[in-house]
């Protein structure tokens, strides 16, 4: 991957990777792997490529696990109101985690255009629904995304779809915010990207390029998303 400002992006987006029986390593984020997926988890490709029969087996296995949970909390999974709950929840969880099966290449679908535009582009208050990876409980919020093009613009609807793709995974808010920003920096190579997520009690932000380097630009973005 060739970043437009490789030194800055590496410094901004460095994170740790735990490797069994080895020292902790450090490497930069890279949003697109060799198959076009975006930070795939260990089981992503298996889930993506499985047959309808295999998908049915996966959902059935998940439903059995939910039934066990219902039993363990002291309820009766055979009670009328709970009979179909494991199956319903299994299907719901597969939907809530569908972001693992999506890729940036599929979402963008060629909607990057050459335009003589170098002013700020902002989409604000994108609804976000995700699952906390520490407790498997939902967290929700609003995401605002801004970037300053470098002769390349993205179809406006794609910004919300990118936010949804990363939110429909097991997440922490800090990583979700950064993944959106770094992905846009990679695919558009703009002058800068800014992403802010406001959840119930937490606000996270990532500023790249001119948004990080220039206080006036950063302040303009923060003012506009509040207006």
Residue 58 DSSP code: H
pLDDT band at 18 (very low <50, low <70, confident <90, very high): very low
Give the count of beta carbons closer than 10 Å to the beta carbon of residue 49. 10
- Rounded to the nearest 10 degrees, how much is the dihedral formed by the CA atoms of 53, 59, 60, 62? 150
**For 91-107, how does the pLDDT look when each residue is reduced to its tens digit (9 = 90+)?**
999 999 999 988 888 89
Cβ atoms of 178 and 151 within 8 Å: the answer is no
In this structure, are strands 14-17 and 170-171 parallel, antiparallel, or unpaired? unpaired
**From 26-30, 55-59, 108-112, 192-196, the region with the lowest mean pLDDT:** 26-30
Q: What is the mean pLDDT of residues 183-197?
A: 96
Instruction: Please report, rounded to a whole number, the percentage of residues in the chain having pLDDT higher than 90.
Output: 74
**From 26-30, 115-119, 132-136, 176-180, the region with the lowest mean pLDDT:** 26-30
pLDDT band at 26 (very low <50, low <70, confident <90, very high): very low
pLDDT band at 12 (very low <50, low <70, confident <90, very high): very low
Residue 80 DSSP code: G
pLDDT band at 30 (very low <50, low <70, confident <90, very high): low
**Mean residue pLDDT across the chain:** 87
What's the pLDDT at 27?
A: 37
d(CA 100, CA 168): 7
Q: Looking at per-residue confidence, does 35 or 126 come out higher? A: 126
Residue 103 DSSP code: B
Q: What is the CA radius of gyration of the chain?
A: 20
Cβ atoms of 9 and 3 within 8 Å: the answer is yes
**For 101-132, how does the pLDDT look when each residue is reduced to its tens digit (9 = 90+)?**
888 888 999 999 999 999 999 999 999 999 99
Exposure class string for 163-182: b at 16+ Cβ within 10 A, else e: bbbbbbbebebebbbbbbbb
The 3-state DSSP class for residue 143 equals strand
**For 148-172, how does the pLDDT look when each residue is reduced to its tens digit (9 = 90+)?**
999 999 999 999 999 999 999 999 9
Q: Could you tell me which residues come within 8 angstroms of residue 205 by beta carbon, excluding any fewer than 6 positions away?
A: 177, 194, 195, 196, 197
The 3-state DSSP class for residue 125 equals strand
Q: Could you tell me which residues come within 8 angstroms of residue 207 by beta carbon, excluding any fewer than 6 positions away?
A: 181, 192, 193, 194, 218
pLDDT band at 45 (very low <50, low <70, confident <90, very high): confident
Which two structure tokens, joined as six digits, stand for 226?
Answer: 């509040």
pTM: 0.83
Q: Looking at per-residue confidence, does 105 or 8 come out higher? A: 105
What's the pLDDT at 33?
A: 67
Residue 119 DSSP code: S
Which two structure tokens, joined as six digits, stand for 136?
Answer: 């498997």
d(CA 130, CA 170): 7
What's the pLDDT at 41?
A: 82
**From 5-19, 77-91, 113-127, 141-155, the region with the lowest mean pLDDT:** 5-19
Q: Could you tell me which residues come within 8 angstroms of residue 30 by beta carbon, excluding any fewer than 6 positions away?
A: 1, 186
């Amino acid at each position: 991957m060739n970043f437009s400002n490789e030194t800055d992006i590496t410094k901004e987006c460095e994170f740790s990777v735990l490797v069994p029986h080895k020292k902790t390593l450090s490497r930069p984020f890279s949003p697109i792997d060799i198959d076009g997926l975006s930070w795939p988890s260990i089981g992503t490709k298996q889930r993506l490529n499985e047959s309808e029969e295999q998908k049915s087996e996966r959902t059935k296995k998940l439903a059995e696990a939910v039934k066990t949970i219902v039993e363990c909390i002291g309820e009766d999974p055979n009670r009328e109101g709970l009979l179909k709950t494991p199956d319903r929840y299994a299907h719901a969880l597969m939907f809530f985690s569908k972001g693992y099966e999506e890729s940036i290449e599929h979402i963008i679908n060629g909607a990057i255009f050459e335009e003589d535009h170098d002013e700020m582009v902002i989409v604000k208050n994108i609804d976000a629904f995700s699952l906390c990876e520490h407790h498997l409980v939902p967290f929700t919020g609003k995401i605002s995304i801004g970037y300053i093009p470098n002769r390349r613009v993205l179809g406006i609807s794609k910004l919300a779809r990118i936010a949804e793709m990363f939110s429909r995974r097991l997440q922490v808010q800090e990583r979700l915010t950064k993944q959106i920003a770094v992905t846009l920096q990679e695919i558009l190579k703009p002058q800068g990207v800014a992403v802010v997520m406001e959840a119930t009690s937490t606000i996270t932000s990532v500023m790249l390029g001119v948004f990080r380097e220039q206080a006036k630009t950063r302040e303009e973005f923060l003012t506009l998303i509040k207006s």
